[in-house]
Amino acid sequence: MLNYRKIKELKINIQGLSGLKKKILKKSFIGPNNKQEDFFVDIDKDSVQILALTPKQQVYLVQQFRPGSEKIELELPGGGLDPNEDIHLAASRELKEETGLISNEIIHLGSMFYSPYTTGKKHSFLALNCIEEFDLDLDDNEFLQVVVKDLKEVKELAANGNIRGIDTFFMGLEKIKTDPRTF
């Protein structure tokens, strides 16, 4: 009764001079009312996002300029997958690159599509016992600052929508409460 049947899919490429690219699908379905309905769906790559906790229950966050808000935002670390990269490897790689941390216990919490209109998923992780081991390893055009905060303070930021990665944060918090590995 809720199902749509796909009848057509068209790929649209948008290209900027600087090599900037965006790919969109135009998907056509027959809906439950037997009428055609079309949707634009962004082709996005998957990404990882990590709740990174130290043995003293401190959280590593990053500050980064974001072009949507045109503001510097406070976020859980993370980033896009490399082609064919395993999500666990991506989580430890992004953690290392963006914060210099290593963790002996990186736990997959869940995976969710970014929005109803994208092909991309965010894979959420909890990294326990994080230790600073490396210098940051950022891309040439990547500028961010690491911020360390107490878990309680981050919880308040998350509860009020003042951080990016609220879902990953609370999923990680639930895991800490319920998973014996995390004690």
Q: Could you write out the DSSP letters of every residue in 88-113? A: HHHHHHHHHHHH-EE-SEEEEEEEEE
**Least Cβ distance, residue 71 to its own copies (angstroms):** 9
Q: Which is nearer to its own copies, 96 or 164 (CB)?
A: 164
- CA–CA gap between residue 40 and residue 28 (Å, rounded): 9
Q: Which of residues 146-165 bind its own copies (CB under 8 A)?
A: 155, 158-162, 164
Residues 59-118 that bind its own copies (CB under 8 A): 63-70, 72-73, 109-118
Query: Dihedral sign, CA of 10, 4, 48, 159?
Result: positive
Report the nearest approach of its own copies to the CB of residue 160 (Å). 5
Between residues 52 and 78, which has the closer beta carbon with respect to its own copies? 78
Which residue's CB is nearer to its own copies, number 14 or number 104? 14
Per-residue HEC secondary structure of 19-84 comes to CCEEEEEEEEEECCCCCEEEEEEEECCCEEEEEEECCCCEEEEEEEEECCCCEEEEECCEEECCCC
Q: Which is nearer to its own copies, 9 or 86 (CB)?
A: 9
Residue type, 169: F
* Contact by Cβ (8 Å): 14, 39: no
Interface of this chain with its own copies, residues 22 to 51, rule: CB under 8 A = 22, 24, 26-27, 29, 31-33, 35-42
Residue 118 tokens, joined:
């994208």
In whole angstroms, the minimum distance from the beta carbon of 131 to its own copies comes to 25
Q: Which residues bind its own copies (CB under 8 A)?
A: 1-4, 6, 12, 14, 16, 18, 20, 22, 24, 26-27, 29, 31-33, 35-42, 63-70, 72-73, 109-119, 124, 140-141, 143-145, 155, 158-162, 164, 166-167, 170-171, 174-175, 178
